[in-house]
């Protein structure tokens, strides 16, 4: 297939591009920089210069593709409602170009992004799928995800913390397993699929804090829930939550099997070397 990929030079998107090319697909990656153009060309992909705000450009790229994987999501979180609105318009524009074609359109779920998800899943004559990734998508090269953020907070605060007893669990998935999920979704997911990108179904938050504390030679300590926001900042509302979930249905549907390192082992490998 000729696949249009948004977010093609990002942490997850770059892995998806490699996965698709390795699977025999041709990739056209959306990028808004000359550096992105060069990065795509270097791995054998074609570059489509543009932005999520450029709806005409998105429509043209979508119309000329055999399928779409939509990974891009805004350029900042200072106005999250505006980022969601941009995503919704982009999804509507690309989806309109695919209606009635039977082509696949795989998108990524985001917090409070139900409007975009509903647009995709309601498209007529499109093999649509929405993937919900784990909060921890991990691998070498992760610079801005939750794990680097927790490491930075621990360094700044002088303690690696968890909330309460720290038994609350967070799911995780290796970046390369996530990339494989997107390829399988593109190739085989039935229309209207909701997919769970989960490798580790639930890693206790206390265990994550323990690895960070040991590797940074910092104390590991419990904090009360009412102090979570002050300690963790924007993560504070999430840090006490038990978010564990299973990908069993997705694995059965697509034949997908996570095979790469789990979160704790990958933290040991890649997250304390810089």
Q: How do residues 154-176 score in pLDDT, each as one tens digit?
A: 999 999 999 999 999 999 999 99
Retrieve residue 210's tokens: 């323990």
Q: Is the pLDDT of residue 47 over 70?
A: yes
Averaged confidence pLDDT in the chain? 96
Q: How far apart are the first and last CA of the chain?
A: 38
Q: Say what the pLDDT of residue 76 is.
A: 60
Q: Say what the pLDDT of residue 56 is.
A: 95
| Per-residue pLDDT reduced to its tens digit, 99-113 | 999 999 999 999 899
Q: Residue ranges of the domains in the chain?
A: 2-133, 136-172+201-243+261-270
pLDDT band at 79 (very low <50, low <70, confident <90, very high): confident
| Per-residue pLDDT reduced to its tens digit, 205-224 | 999 999 999 999 999 999 99
Beta strand segments in the chain, E: 2-6, 26-31, 46-49, 67-70, 104-108, 127-133, 136-138, 160-163, 169-174, 193-197, 200-204, 220-223
CATH 3.90.25 assigned to 136-172+201-243+261-270: yes
Q: Is the pLDDT of residue 75 over 80?
A: no
Total residue count of the chain as it appears in this document: 274
Q: Say what the pLDDT of residue 74 is.
A: 80
| Per-residue pLDDT reduced to its tens digit, 86-97 | 999 999 999 999
What's the CATH number for 2-133?
3.40.50.720
Q: Is the pLDDT of residue 271 over 70?
A: yes
Cβ proximity of 62 and 101 under 8 Å? no
| Per-residue pLDDT reduced to its tens digit, 189-205 | 999 999 999 999 999 99
């Amino acid at each position: 297939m000729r696949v249009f990929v948004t977010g093609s030079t990002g942490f997850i998107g770059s892995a998806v591009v490699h996965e698709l090319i390795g699977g025999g697909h041709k990739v056209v990656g959306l990028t808004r920089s000359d550096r992105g153009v060069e990065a795509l060309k270097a791995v054998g992909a074609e570059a489509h210069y543009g932005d999520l705000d450029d709806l005409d450009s998105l429509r043209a790229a979508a119309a000329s593709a055999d399928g779409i994987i939509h990974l891009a999501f805004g350029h900042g979180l200072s106005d999250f409602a505006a980022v969601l609105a941009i995503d919704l318009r982009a999804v509507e524009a690309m989806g309109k170009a695919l209606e009635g074609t039977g082509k696949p359109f795989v998108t990524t779920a985001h917090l409070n992004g139900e409007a975009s998800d509903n647009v995709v899943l309601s498209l007529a004559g499109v093999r649509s799928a929405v993937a919900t990734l784990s909060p921890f998508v991990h691998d070498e090269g992760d610079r801005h995800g939750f794990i680097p953020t927790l490491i930075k907070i621990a360094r700044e605060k002088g303690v690696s913390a968890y909330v309460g007893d720290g038994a609350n669990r967070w799911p995780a998935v290796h970046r390369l397993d996530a990339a494989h999920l997107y390829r399988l979704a593109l190739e085989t997911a039935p229309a209207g699929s909701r997919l769970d990108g989960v490798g580790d179904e639930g890693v206790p938050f206390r265990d994550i804090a323990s690895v960070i504390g040991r590797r940074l030679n910092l104390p590991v300590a419990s904090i009360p829930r009412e102090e979570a926001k002050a300690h963790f900042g924007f993560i504070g509302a999430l840090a006490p939550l038990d978010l564990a979930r299973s990908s069993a249905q997705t694995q059965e549907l697509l034949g997908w099997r996570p095979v790469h390192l789990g979160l704790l082992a990958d933290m040991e490998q890649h997250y304390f070397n810089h």
